[in-house]
Amino acid sequence: MAARWLCLLVLLGLLSGGSGALPKKRKEPEKPLDKIAIQKNFNLDQFLGKWYLVGVASKCNYLRENNFRVEATTIQLSHPTEAKETVAISTLRKLNLQCWDLRQTLALTDKAGKFVLKGKRKANDLTIVVGDTDYATYAIMYLQKQNMITMKLYGRSVDLSDQMIEKFEGLAASQGITEDLVYYFPRYGFCDTVDESYTVSKCLHR
């Protein structure tokens, strides 16, 4: 049961034609993430490694009602040895005072800096875009699930400048996410190691 809740917490064509005519596929409407510019000349190798989750901007009702439960969270990005065209992501955080390690796989796309976390159904796929990063200090990522945008601010350390925080909040505002929907995570209590019995692998995004 705890593993199931951990999965939930981490952190988202019709045919038409007249008679006698070949059916035509209707053009898919533009999605919110399509309007987000991806980091120019994105370099995956420089982006890999450890990141601390500093803040999240989201209209998600769950986060709005449970933001007091947020825990210090880190992610580790690496090249998996067994699968090509993917990136392994390991998320470490506490649940009920116990450290957990959630291991998932991001699929690369035809655009550098854009990834997909597969869901149990295609409608539940989570698309991720790296919008801005300097690789050494900060990264701003945009996540989309069912046309809802969530933004995450990561740092190579927990100490980011006030200017970076202001930039993040400004970008969130441009997505219609007000300041009261920006949540900052603890700067202490990080998990460094996790017992194998508290490791969840290949958890599909719901």
Enumerate long-range contacts of 146-150, CB under 8 Å, 24 or more apart: 146/12, 147/31, 147/32, 148/12, 148/32, 148/58, 148/59, 148/60, 149/32, 149/33, 149/36, 149/58, 149/175, 149/177, 150/11, 150/12, 150/56, 150/57, 150/58, 150/59, 150/60
Instruction: Write down the pTM of the prediction.
Output: 0.84
pLDDT tens track, the chain, 206 positions: 554 444 444 432 222 333 334 445 566 666 889 889 999 999 999 999 999 999 999 999 989 999 989 999 999 999 986 667 899 999 999 998 999 999 999 999 999 999 999 887 777 889 999 999 999 999 999 999 888 999 999 999 999 999 999 999 999 999 999 999 999 999 999 998 898 888 988 655 55
88-91 contacts, C-beta under 8 A, 24 or more apart: 91/10
Number of alpha carbons in the 13 Å side-chain half-sphere of residue 54: 22
Query: In the numeric block, which tokens belong to residue 58?
Result: 């989201």
Q: Which CATH class for the 2-11+41-201 domain?
A: mainly beta
Look at the alpha carbons of 180, 67, 135, 176 in this order and tell me if their dihedral is positive or negative.
Answer: negative
For the chain, the domains span 2-11+41-201
Q: Count of alpha carbons within 13 Å of 105, Cβ hemisphere only?
A: 12
Rounded-to-integer distance, Cα 185 and Cα 177, Å: 17
- In angstroms, the CA 177 to CA 149 distance is 9
Instruction: List the structure tokens of 1.
Output: 């049961």
Structure confidence at residue 11 (pLDDT): 38
